[in-house]
A = this chain, B = another copy of it.
Amino acid sequence: MAEPQFIGVDIGGTNIRAARFRPNSHFPEHKIKTLTLASGGLDIVLERMEAAVRDAAGIHFDDIAAIGIAAPGPIDPRSGTILNAPNLSGWTDLPLQRLMEERLGRRVYLGNDANVAALGEWKFGAGRGHNDVLYLTISTGIGAGLIAGGRMLVGASGLAAEVGHMLAVPDGPMCGCGLRGHLEAVASGTAIGRETRARLEAGQGVGSLLRGMSGGDLTRVTAELVGAAAQAGDEFATQQITEAGTHIGRTVASLLHVLNPSIVVFGGGVSLLGEVILEPIRAATRANTMSVAYWRNCPMVLAALGDDAGLVGAGALAMESVRTVAQFVAGA
């Protein structure tokens, strides 16, 4: 029999990405990117996912041992169900694992996209060799994946690692989830853009580069633009990023007390700003932990896999799941 192959799929609101991997490798042998077209309805999306998997597999389809899927929103990984995906036409209680297994005739494993990216970074990226990893993704929202004692921490019903909804500022700004003061509501890319625009509109940041960079149209002030201005040395913009980084660092400090990881890995678009946000994150983390023992041997670093973390993680999910099943069967 030929060497078994694995497919990773990363499904987002805009794109479906798929790749084929050889065992224990994170280099895609073949990579596919296609539009999700979520507005077309469920059947269209399932059809496009199936086609992406078959394209990524190519002539190796018969050798596919398993397929891993990274999907947004809360997921029950045990039943392979998407509980709620606002970015995917509001799918609820969707048994995506079963539906794809029926279409493909192969084992399918489903995971939350941040958890799966954490798995990728742990197995093949910045977290390699660590048994206790805190992975945070800072982009439109704030998500996470947790490795504890050499295993993914998913919780009793797969809902763990939602650090974006930890309380950061009691009675603070409204979060996308409808509650106040969550970390995501004060430190995500969305929050940075919203807060900066509000301050500019209120007359703050008089000499800021952002007024020129936005061409006077403040609706164009996004986290990306604020980050670019901060990197160019703009004091007002730097202050906005520093505030967000401080909120994140305080929450990281709380998480170090709870989880005591040996590395913290930051992914997501906002983290790509680099030191301008990492430095305030590190400073606030250190200032808010009760002992240096929590961070002395715990580097805080950027993710290594970039945009591919979800895709590589989905491939790793397939590989890990097959290994776990094999071990379970062997031990039974």
Contact = CB atoms under 8 A, between A and B. Distances in A.
Interface string A158-190: 111111011111100001011100100000000
A106 interface: no
Contact of A162 (B84, B159, B258): B258
Copies in the complex: 2
Contact of A258 (B74, B157, B258): B258
A330 to B, nearest CB: 12
A61 interface: no
A310 interface: no
Chain A's interface: helix, strand, loop or mixed, by majority? Answer: loop
A257 interface: yes
Contacts of A166: 254, 257-258
Given A74-B291, A177-B290, A260 B298 contact: no
B257 A162 contact: yes
B156 A262 contact: yes
Contacts of A159: 257, 260, 291, 293-294
Interface in A126-158: 130-132, 146, 148-149, 151, 153-158
Interface in A252-281: 253-255, 257-262
A37 interface: no
A290 B142 CA distance: 14
Interface of A: 74, 83-84, 130-132, 146, 148-149, 151, 153-163, 165-170, 175, 177-179, 182, 250-251, 253-255, 257-262, 287-291, 293-294, 297-298
Nearest to A131: B156
Contacts of A250: 167, 170
A177 B170 CA distance: 22
Contacts of A167: 250-251, 253-254, 288
A167 B167 CA distance: 9
A261 B170 contact: no
Contact of A259 (B160, B251, B253): B160
A207 to B, nearest CB: 29
